[in-house]
Copies of this chain bind each other. A is one copy, B any other.
Amino acid sequence: MPLDRLRDYRPDRTEPGDFDSFWDATLTQARDAATEPAFVRLDSDLVTVDVFDVTFSGYAGQPVKGWLLIPRHTDGPLPCVIDHIGYNGGRSLPHDWLAWSAAGYANLVMDVRGQGSKSGLVGATADPDPVGSPQVGGFLTRGINDPATYYYRRLYTDAVRAVDVMRAHPRVDPHRVFVAGGSQGGGVALAVAGLQPGLAGVMINVPFLCHIRRATEITDASPYSEITSYLQTHRTDVEQVFHTLSYFDGVNLAARANSPALFSVGLMDATCPPSTVFAAYNHYGAQDKEMVVWAYSGHEGGQAHQRAEMYRFARHH
């Protein structure tokens, strides 16, 4: 699809009637189950930032890990960026995440439950719900036969809770909390934008989990291919699966978002096809939104140049 048509690509959305009550109930349950977060100072080789090993209550009160990096030699509340990680990645070690604290932000890097065993970014958070229904390897079909058991219900809730937690942190300015991520992290950031009002800004790069049905029809690249594989075998469950996914699709979450947003897209992205990214962007609910187009990028997007765009965006919001 050429760029001109992408800019206007705003496909119909399919949305279940209880979308909002589903999420209200989920988030309420998580908040009710929440206990105090722990921030344990870590001895590290780093001298420009203080590092904390974080544990906070996510979905259903389950413990979620993370790193909090706070630039030294600063006073008072800081703006804060919460980072979400790409598929199969975990929080790794703190020195992998220096970009936001170096720019003067408190930075929470949220671990991804169950993930972090591939790609070199080791994870530390379990996904302990007793689900276990048959699935394709990976996380995209874990519990997919029911919205209540779907993996991303838990991950999105963790991410919403991370905002609650950082807004309450003494070194953070609760009015200047940003959420950011690329690929799966972009999908999660978009979900937070739809479920958590009043963010200072959302930075969504090459997002995954948008316009999912189309994605499964036009790309055979991993990880969308996990859904394709599942439906290739669970031949009679196609509609049930897309019913589940409709609670988690970025286009439906985008329609509810009202925080300022910076998106980016790679026009040669075969993993998260541009049309699925523009579908979410064009449905995104806020006026204050911007799309950075990288014409010759694939799923890597704008890399350091997109980082510069994010610095600019955050500085002005």
Contact = CB atoms under 8 A, between A and B. Distances in A.
Q: Which of A99, A132, A139, A231 gathers most chain B CB within 10 Å? A: A132
A234 B122 contact: yes
A93 B307 contact: yes
Contacts of A113: 132
A232 B238 CA distance: 35
A175 interface: no
A121 interface: yes
A197 B73 CA distance: 37
Given A134-B116, A233-B118, A235-B302, A98 B92 contact: no
A48 B49 contact: yes
Contact of A45 (B139, B234, B311): B311
A123 interface: yes
Contacts of A307: 93, 95-96
Contact of A47 (B102, B115, B123, B136): B102
Interface string A254-277: 000000000000001000000000
Interface in A102-120: 102-104, 113-120
B130 A130 contact: yes
B129 A232 contact: no
A311 B44 CA distance: 9
A141 B117 contact: yes
The 4 nearest A-B residue pairs measured at CB? A137-B137, A137-B138, A127-B132, A231-B296
